[in-house]
Amino acid sequence: MGQGKQLTIGDTTFVFQTEAGTTPDTTTVPTGTTAVVIDVSGKKTAAEQVQEAVRKIATAGRNIGHDKDGDGTSDATFNISSVGPNTIHLDQQMPGTGTPPVYSVDDMKGMFSAANPTTSAVAGSLELSPTISVDVAEGERVSFGDGKTYVIVGATSDKLTADIAAAQADEKVSEIYVTAESFNEELSKFALDKAVKDALADTAATGYNGSKLTAAVSNGTATITAAASSDVGVEDTQTKLEAFQTAVEAKLANFKVQKVTEDDIGNSGLKLQIGDTSDSFNQLQVKIGDMHTSAMGTMESVVEGGRQTAVSGKSIADINISTPEGAHEAIDVIKNAINYVSGIRGDLGATQNRLEHTANNLSVMAENIQDAESTIRDTDVAEEMMAYTKNNILIQSAQAMLAQANAVPQGVLQLLG
């Protein structure tokens, strides 16, 4: 039972109306049949609609003709009656003259046919503009799967420029400085685009296959378009689109935003190669502590992954000197902030000394290498070859004289022997 569905009995086609105030199309009934609209829109449940349809068909189904032999004229007439809430009964009427044809069970079955007229799905009838927001604080790094890391800054930060949108479009940018508001706007756009694509790929969730449903996401709004389809009825179109909307909302509910820690982004410091091997003692880690105003003050903190995380207390960003109490409290906050900055400066100074010492060693090594190279390049080849030849001749002469000296004793021994 649905809007526009048809039931043909003999030469009469009953067209069902299930939507109040909307007359079904009767131009698509089979040729040679008469259309009769059966209005069941006043009933809420499907069972009530079926019972109402049976009752009205029985009322309207008087003297229904049927052309058995296909010659264009009715061979017999029937009356439709109701014998139960869900059952209709056909009675063949006796003509005034002539002999009516005999109808078998198969003939009776052939009198019935049903049709479910189709139409194009409604295009552009569904628009989604969800808003997703997360609580982010200044200085935090956040990622949501687009391959970039967003750093939250204040609206007056020097790092915030008018070129943020252009930077976001650059796939090579790994960190983008944004305000919390602009971050949530970007988050909503990306989440909607991803949710729509995932829902389109999930045919079980949408009820459509990819060729019948398309979506365009622009500036945080998704427009869902249902193309013409031969198997989607008028009453099904909105249901399918609503099912798709439910699927998108489910995807959005499962969308995750990750707070990026220094370990996550590999920001344990700048690793410098200061030796000739890849061993750890030939490498130097250079790190600078968090210098945001939210990181300096009287907070009790713990160290996680080499980064201080505030637990309680106040920071420079929280001080308020409009009251005497706030001014006194600000003194401790500023004092601790100064000590914190001094500690960071001390760490940087130690690192600087280490780098200067390493640079001096490398300079000495480079100087020694250059000296060795100069010694090799400045060699007089001709002089060295002459010295080599002279020494070679002397060695050969010594060997010849030694051989002659050994020959005399050998001759004496031969005479004695």
Same domain, yes or no, for 85 and 178? no
Instruction: Tell me how far apart the alpha carbons of residues 167 and 280 are, in angstroms, rounded to a whole number.
Output: 36
Match 């005497």 to its residue by tokens.
Answer: 324
Same-domain pairing of 19 and 52: yes
pLDDT the model gives residue 9? 76
Are 151 and 255 in the same domain? yes
Contact 39, 20 (CB under 8 A): no
Is 147 inside a domain boundary? yes
Residue 104 lies in a domain: no
Per-position DSSP letters for 94-151, written without gaps between them: PPSSS-PPPP-HHHHHHTEEEE----BPPEEEEEE---------TT-EEE-SSS-EEE
Residue 117 belongs to some domain of the structure: no
Are residues 43 and 88 located together in one domain of the fold? yes
By C-alpha distance, which of 51, 60, 52 is closest to 12? 60
Q: Does 131 share its domain with 239?
A: yes
pLDDT number for residue 391: 94
For 45, the domain range is 6-98
pTM given for the model:
0.36
Q: What is the pLDDT of residue 249?
A: 78
pLDDT < 50 stretches in the chain: 96, 120-124, 156-173, 209-211, 230, 234, 264-267, 301, 303, 305-311
Considering the domain architecture, whether residues 385 and 313 belong to the same structural domain is answered as no
* Shared-domain flag, residues 132 and 238: yes
Q: pLDDT tens-digit profile of 111-164?
A: 666 666 555 444 445 666 767 666 766 667 777 666 677 776 665 444 444 444
DSSP state, residue 228: B
Which run of H or of E encompasses 410? helix 381-416
202 and 299 housed in the same domain: no
38: left (phi over 0), alpha (psi -120 to 50) or beta: beta
> Do 274 and 231 sit in the same domain of this protein?
no
Asked if 134 and 187 sit in the same domain, the reply is: yes
Q: State the total domains in the chain.
A: 4
Q: What span, in angstroms and rounded, lies between the C-alpha atoms of 168 and 91?
A: 76
What's residue 307's pLDDT?
Answer: 47
Instruction: Give the DSSP letter string of 160-208.
Output: --TTHHHHHH-TT--EEEE-HHHHHHHHHHHHHHHHHHHHHH-HHHHSS
Residue 63 CA to residue 92 CA, distance in Å, equals 9
What's the pLDDT score for residue 122?
A: 45
- 127 shares its domain with 226: yes
Query: Does residue 105 belong to any structural domain of this protein?
Result: no
What is the structure's pLDDT at 414?
76
The HSE-up count of residue 71 (CA atoms within 13 Å, CB side) is 5
pLDDT of residue 172: 42
The SS3 call for residue 370 is: helix
pLDDT in tens, 73-120: 666 677 776 666 666 666 666 554 555 566 666 666 666 666 665 554
pLDDT of residue 46: 74
In a domain, 168, yes or no: yes
- Distance of alpha carbon 208 from alpha carbon 228, whole angstroms: 12
Residue 103, in any domain of the structure: no
Which token pair is 168? 């976001």
On whether both 144 and 193 belong to a single domain, the answer is yes
Is 107 part of any domain? no
| pLDDT recorded at residue 160 | 43
pLDDT of residue 358: 86
Query: Is residue 409 situated within a structural domain?
Result: yes
Residue that has been written with the tokens 């060693």 in this structure: 361
